[in-house]
Amino acid sequence: MQRLKALLPQTRASLRTIYSYHRAFSAQPNYAEHDDDDSQEQILVEGRAKSRTAILNRPSSLNSLNASMVGRLKRLYDSWEENSDIGFVLMKGSGRAFCSGADVLRLYHTLNEGNADEAEQFFKTLYSFVYLQGTYLKPHVAILDGITMGCGSGISLPGMFRVVTDKTFFSHPEAQIGFHPDAGASYILSRLPGYLGEYLALTGDKLNGVEMIACGLATHYSLNARLALLEEQLGKLITDEPSVVEASLAQYGDIVYPDKGSVLHRIDTIDRCFSHDTVEEIIEALEKEAVESYDSWCSTTLRRIREASPLSLKVILRSIREGRFETLDKCLVREYRMSIRGISKNVSSDFFEGVRARMVDKDFAPKWDPPSLKEISEDVVDYYFSPLESELVLPTALREPYM
């Protein structure tokens, strides 16, 4: 716990530097147009005197994101940023989830129907929105009340303020479906204390709201029962000053610490095991730890890793390691390459097999290809990181990224 407390100030400071809010913004209005009926129903807008709230509204699908939703979000945020009447922006979800990530089932069926161009456009729009969020010129408050998975973190965590509750849980379970944590995840996870990011990405383990505060993923904690008061207070603000928004959030915030069973108390063990250069070495370290400590956590962690796609594990570990030394835009460009390679079937069909096993047939018995770590060559891993003919292009000349 002593080491955990020591890590908190530097983690929070680094994240505040990453998402610095001392930036000026344009006052020229440019309102969003041409949204279809579905996207307007799935992304609702709530207006207050000096703020706007985007509400993810697909509760029956845990607010999973499709192409029309991401497109509408980007158009709205572009217009709100340029509207001088709007001081700050909020985002939240309907029902028991903030956002469970991408609509993976829809993506799966889209690709099986031969519409690869549509899938590629989805990733381009999504990652462009993540970059917009990470370089947004106005204060942003994401209220992560409930399930926050996959790219649900990408559309929220790069923003200035991230509010979590006693209902929040966060995870990146992509390895279990033969994919990789994307939408800026290699940027966010690689900046967590020690090797916690590698642990979360390779195992898909969950963090609750208190743990998100402790490791720096979130900035404020509020009980779910007090959210209505918090939102009411924010709605009354007439400001574009981050310090005023932060003071309002702090007024309804709570000081919390992880409980005794939190994985964050295992940070030393995580660092010992997940600091190694290869997935094979990580597994070997966990096996050794299990024998020496008789700790069931080691066995559970090993089981989670062994259930995942071996190819995804190797790709993910390299992605997190490279993300440590890259700006947000560089991470997104690389992740776009990885995503397009991952859905192409040129090397492996693990994404399709993982979705089939967990979400279509639900037999939970994927047949990974290659089936083991030892059968994966460096050339295969390199392929996922190689440039594409049509790369993701982000407006870095207009919106400077932060390291």
Give the pLDDT of residue 401. Answer: 64
What is the reported pLDDT for 331?
A: 97
H/E stretch holding 162 reads strand 161-164
Mean pLDDT by 10 residues, the chain (403 residues): 45 41 37 59 92 95 94 96 95 95 92 92 96 95 96 94 96 96 96 97 97 95 93 94 94 84 94 97 96 91 97 98 95 97 93 95 94 95 95 89 56
List of long-range contacts for 245-253, beta carbons under 8 Å, 24+ apart: 245/88, 245/139, 245/141, 245/160, 245/161, 246/161, 246/219, 249/141, 249/161, 249/163, 249/219, 249/220, 250/220, 252/222, 252/226, 253/220, 253/221, 253/222
Three-state SS across 27-64? CCCCCCCCCCHHHHHHEEEEECCCEEEEEECCHHHCCC
- Its pTM stands at 0.88
Q: Rounded to whole angstroms, how far apart are CA atoms 53 and 156?
A: 13
Q: Do 341 and 384 contact (CB within 8 A), yes or no?
A: yes
Alpha carbon separation from 309 to 34, 93, 146, 177, 377 (Å, rounded): 40, 30, 27, 7, 15
Q: In this predicted structure, what is the pLDDT of residue 100? A: 93
CB atoms within 10 A of CB 358: 18
| Rounded to 5°, angle at Cα 74 from 68 and 75 | 90
The ranges assigned to domains in the chain are 37-385
Name beta bridge partners: 148: 99, 170
Structure tokens at 279: 């997935």
DSSP letters spanning 351-389: HHHHHIIIIIS-------SS-SGGG--HHHHHHHHSPPS
Give the Cα-Cα-Cα angle 250, 253, 257 (nearest 5 degrees): 125
As given in the structure block, the two tokens for residue 306 are 């062994």
The sign one gets for the Cα dihedral 148, 391, 311, 268 is negative
Residues contacting residue 37 through CB under 8 Å, at least 6 positions apart: none
CATH 3.40.50.2000 matches 37-385: no
38 token code pair: 């579905």
Side chain identity at 369, as an amino acid letter? D
